[in-house]
Amino acid sequence: MTTYGYVRVSSKDQNEDRQIIALREAGVPEKNIYVEKKSGKDFDRPVYKKLLRRLKPNDVLVIKSIDRLGRNYTELQEEWRRITIEKEVDIVVLDMPLLDTRKATGDLTGRFISNLVLQILSYVSEVERDNIKQRQREGIAAAKARGVKFGRDALPKPEGLDSYIIAYKNEMISARKAAAALGISHTTFLRWVAQSSVLSQLTDDSCADDGDGGDNGVEDSENAA
């Protein structure tokens, strides 16, 4: 049986010393402590994967707190099952003594109790996430009712925009050059082009001019006759 320790911090700026000290005091050999600086949003972590390859049946994995192993409780339950059932490795969470698969209480094994506690934690975490989302929705609705506006203010359209749109539509200037001349981004210019009614107005005006010209021609001919 070999005892390993896993330490994780979310970024390079965070200090892992507190976790390492706790693992040492729990009897984890220094050489068996794996330290990783990466987010706990999933288990796609190189140091963690390396540690998993080292784990053998009857080994013990020690972590300071459950969130050092992972933050997504749905994935955490599956990972816990893989380690304890498939790999037959015990897990010890120092900050939560009930999460210790080695212990036995009466006729209930430590593994059963730990699995139950983990399921409860997962449920509580899910409920809290739903409550946070609900509070956010209610807060936004209340703010909107007070007239609070969300999102960025609309970018004011510069003078001469319509002229540049016409020039762009007539292939007299590129979108990038038009955007640069107007002092806006290329994507903003193209969005305004798509939203603009200038082209349709030009088409309508052109059709109207052609029709008027034809009628006048007939009337002039008749008058001339």
Catalytic residues: 10
Structure-token match 């210019």, residue found:
189
Torsion angles phi and psi, residue 16, rounded to 5 = -95, 0
Q: Are strands 60-63 and 90-93 parallel, antiparallel or unpaired?
A: parallel
Q: Are strands 33-37 and 60-63 parallel, antiparallel or unpaired?
A: unpaired
Interior/surface letters 150-166, b for 16+ CB within 10 angstroms, e for the rest: eeeeeeeeeeebeebbb
Quickly list H helices, the chain: 17-25, 46-54, 66-69, 73-81, 110-145, 161-169, 175-182, 186-195, 198-224
Q: Are strands 108-109 and 33-37 parallel, antiparallel or unpaired?
A: unpaired
CA distances from 172 to 53, 54, 130, 163, 191 (A): 64, 67, 54, 11, 18
- Two structure tokens written together for 108: 């209930």
Torsion angles phi and psi, residue 39, rounded to 5 = -60, 150
